[in-house]
Amino acid sequence: MLFDLHTVPFSRFGSYFAFSILPARPDREAGLYLRLVRGGDNDIGAVFRIELLADGHAVPFTCSASPTLLRLEAEEGTVEWCIPEPDFIRVRSQGVGVRLTCAPGVYDYAFPLGEWGWEFNSFVRERRFLLSPVAGSIREDVRWDGVKAQRLAFDGVPGGDGKLELTLEEYRTVPRPLRPGSFEQGLAQVRSEYAAWRSRMPAVAALWSEAEELAAYITWSCVVQADGYLPRSAMYMSKNWMTNIWSWDHCFNAMALAAADPDLAWDQFAIFFDRQDDSGMLPDFMNDKYALWNCCKPPIHGWTLRWLMNRSEAVTPERLAEIYEPLSRWTQWWFDYRDDDRDGVPQYNHGNDSGWDNSTVFLAAIPVESPDLCAFLILQMETLATVAAKLGCAGEAEQWERRSQELLTRMIEHFWIGDRFQAVQSGTHAGADEGDSLMAYLPVVLGKRLPEPILRKLVEGLREEGRFLTAHGFATESVRSPLYAPDGYWRGPIWAPVMLLLVEGLKEAGEEQFAADVARRFCRMAASAGMAENFDALEGRGLRDRAFTWTSSVFLLLAREYGA
C-alpha cells in the first residue's frame, strides 16, 4: 500500500516523529518536512525541511510512502527513510545528498558533539536532536549570533561511492549509546513489527481490504509511547494536526483495538481516568505535555465499557475493580457540577462538552439540557450496576440500577415534547433547538429501554431519506435545514463516532437490517474517500483532517461486522 503524504503522515507505532508534505505559508516554504508531534496541536511541529541535493544544489523529487518505508526519487538518485525505533530514524541515499533545514526558535543552537555528529537543541520543542553520519559526511551551515542560531542547515554529503547514510535521534537530555546495525536491519525490524500488527487485525471482506490496510496503518502509526503527561501509550487522533487524545475519541479507538491488542485497548480506555480530577471530572484532551480542563466530553464511557465487557478479554475482574470507583466519580460529577437548576437533569455548558462543538442545539443559549446526555448517563449507571454486582457490591448495584431507571423516567418527562425529543435551556427550560440536529436522535442508544412509541418515532426519523439519512450515512444536521452546511463541522457532515453510536442503538432497538444498511453506506464512503475527520453528507467527500483514528477505528469495527 502507498499513501499520499499531503494527507497521511509517514510515522510508526510509538513515535513522535512524522513526515508530511506541507503547503506554503508566509513563514514556511512548501515541501517535505520532518515533524515532531509533541506538545499538542500548537503548530510547532515542523523540525526540518527536507531537500535533495546534486552538486550542492536542490533538485526536484517525488515521494513514495508505504507503512514502513519513505522513498524520495530524483533523476540523480534516491533517498530512503525508515523509523526502526520510536525515537530513531535511519536514512540512506544513493547518488544524491540530503539537506535538513530548520527555522531556529529563540535560543536554539547546534554544535558538534565529538564523534557522534551534530546536536541541535530546540528550546521551543523542549527536545534535542542528534544527526550522525554512518557513511558519507555532514556539512553544516550554522550561523550563530551570540544568543541563538540565525540559520541551521545540515547537508548529508555522499562519499566517493555515491552512498550516504545518516541517523537522527530525538531525546530530552542525553543521547543513548550509539546504536549498531544497518539501514536494512532497521527496515527489517519495523517491517516485522508492522506485519505483527496486521496479523492481529480481524479480517474484513475483500472489497474493503485496501481501505482496511489504510485504516490499520493509521491506527498503528498514530500511537505514541508513554512519556511526560501521558502515563500510557496513547493513540492520537491524528499525526497531522489533531495531535492529542480527547476524552471520548479514545473510547472508539479502544473498541477497535479490543480484538487485536486487548492490553493496548484497555490503556486507551483507562488513560483519562489516570488523570482524573479530584472532583471526578475528566480532562477534555491530553498530550505528552499537558491537559486542557476548560471543557469536557460526553460520558460515553459506561456505554464503551459495557461493549468491551461483552467482546474483549481486556476487561478482567482486576480491571473492573480498577475502573469502578473512577467511573462512579465521573458519573456523579455530572449531577454535582453540571445541574445548575438542580432539577436532576445534567447540562452541557458549551457545545464542546457534548462533542458536537457547534451544533445548532447550542445556537440559542447555554447551558443546554440535552436528552443525549441523559441517555449516556442512564447507560453508564446501568453499567456501574453490572460492575458493582460482579464485584460483590450488591447494595451499590441496586442503587445504580434505581438511579438509572429514575433518570430514564425523568428524561422522557423532561424532553419528549409532542412526537420528538427536544433539548432545552437549563433553568428556563425554553426550547433550545434552532435547527434540526441529529443530536435529538442519539437516545436511540437506549434501544428497547425506551417505550415502544418513542422508539418507533426515533427509528422513523432516522429512516427518512433526505433528512438525516443520505447515501453515505447520517448527516449531523438535516440536509433540509436552513442551517445545514456541507462543511459545517457538526452542522451537517457525517461523523464516524455518531455512525457507530446510532448503528449500535439501532441494533439495541431490534433494527438489525437497518443498522447493517447504514453501516455499509458509511464503509463504502470511507473506503472511497479515506479516513477523514468528517465527510460531506451529500457528496461523500472527505473533509478536514484526512488521516483520523476514530474514523479508522469505526471503519474497522463496522467493516468487520458488516463486510458481506
Rounded Cα distance between 6 and 20, Å, is 6
* pLDDT of res. 44: 65
Identify residue 88 by its one-letter amino acid code: F
Angle at 253 between CA 251 and CA 259, to 5 degrees: 110
Angle at 202 between CA 201 and CA 207, to 5 degrees: 105
* pLDDT of res. 162: 95
Low-confidence ranges of the chain (pLDDT < 70): 43-44, 564
CA distances from 259 to 102, 109, 143, 239, 308 (A): 42, 46, 53, 24, 10
Rounded Cα distance between 87 and 176, Å, is 10
Fold of domain 201-561: Glycosyltransferase (1.50.10)
3-state secondary structure 388-431: HHHCCCHHHHHHHHHHHHHHHHHHHHHHEECCEECCEECCCCCE
Instruction: Classify 221 as helix, strand or coil.
Output: helix
Identify residue 429 by its one-letter amino acid code: H
Q: What are the E-state strand segments in 55-162?
A: 57-59, 62-65, 70-74, 77-85, 88-94, 97-102, 109-112, 118-122, 127-135, 137-144, 149-157
* pLDDT of res. 516: 97
* pLDDT of res. 313: 84
CB neighbour list of residue 107: distance below 8 Å, 6 or more residues apart: 123, 147, 148
Q: pLDDT by residue (tens digit) across 181-203?
A: 999 999 999 999 999 999 999 98
CB neighbour list of residue 22: distance below 8 Å, 6 or more residues apart: 28, 30, 31, 32, 33, 46
The CATH number, out of the four listed (2.70.98.10, 1.10.3720.10, 3.30.56.10, 2.60.40.10), of the domain defined by the range 17-192:
2.70.98.10
Domain residue extents for the chain: 17-192, 201-561
Identify residue 536 by its one-letter amino acid code: D
* pLDDT of res. 178: 85
DSSP 8-state class, residue 182:
-
Rounded Cα distance between 15 and 88, Å, is 9
With CA atoms as reference, report the closest residue to 548 among 237, 247, 251: 237
Whether residue 16 contacts residue 29, with contact meaning beta carbons closer than 8 Å, is answered with no
Residue 58 buriedness (CB in 10 A; 0-12 / 13-18 / 19+): middle
Identify residue 23 by its one-letter amino acid code: P
Rounded Cα distance between 478 and 468, Å, is 5
Instruction: Classify 457 as helix, strand or coil.
Output: helix
* pLDDT of res. 564: 57
Rounded Cα distance between 292 and 313, Å, is 32
CB neighbour list of residue 454: distance below 8 Å, 6 or more residues apart: 412, 416
Rounded Cα distance between 338 and 289, Å, is 28
